[in-house]
Amino acid sequence: MRFGERLAAAVSRYGPLCVGIDPHPGLLASWGLPRDASGLERFALTCVEAFGGRVAVVKPQSAFFEAYGSRGVAVLEKVISGLRDSGTLVLVDAKRGDIGSTMAAYAAAYLTEGSPLAGDAVTVSPYLGFGSLRPALEAAAASGRGIFALALTSNPEGASVQRAAGPDGRSVAQSVVDEAARANAGAEPLGDVGLVIGATVGRLDLDLSDLRGPILAPGFGAQGGTVGDLRALFGEDLPGVLPASSRDVLRHGPGTASLRSAVDAARRSLEM
């Protein structure tokens, strides 16, 4: 099955919540864990145990693993493997983007069958031009995986680029939307090319009507995004949105039971 098909089935079963695994040093400390690779591993594998088979998508943030060097990347590989073994979709939040052979190498790492870093999808940056993502699009299509391209992010610096108008009058973010829609043309029930649009961007100013793909909406929960914000932003496009919550769930650790209770509460809040 294509990624979009697997995602639609997972959302139908578990609801749209995406839970992040963000092993921030402050969270390791609050869990009583050392800020080293051993603490990282205990934190991350506890999350795998708590979230696997309970939500549609889990999103490990690659940077927090890379910070510990090769031992941290080895833990990320265990997280991806453990979640996939549980039947849970894995979105690796790596935000990779480059040109030519370098982008092809990123695609081989995150989107190619047999790579230990390949989940079910990966976040990518289109800000070297959407065409620079072609190796990732091709690798995803060949392996039945997906990509989520940054479109409109909630960090204040993003607006100067993403909301800027191009030569044809469209915003840069709208051009990303339109390219994703072109890649998803004809896909049912969902395409394999998703977008990242922050839950706290305030206003959308985007035409998503032809997208036919999923939208990852980070910032739900601790970063201030609410169900009301999601409704106001996405309106009739809301059924294709994956609200992402990380620290609002993770702060309930280190017990797996309390983490699962937090996940269940977040899922219930999204029953619209």
Catalytic positions: 95
Angle, alpha carbons 162-213-196 (nearest 5°): 35
In which region does residue 24 sit, left (phi positive, over 0), alpha (psi from -120 to 50) or beta (all else)? Answer: beta
Distance in angstroms (rounded) separating the CA atoms of residues 110 and 223: 27
Are 269 and 84 in contact by the 8 Å Cβ rule? The answer is no
Distance in angstroms (rounded) separating the CA atoms of residues 29 and 14: 31
Distance in angstroms (rounded) separating the CA atoms of residues 230 and 84: 28
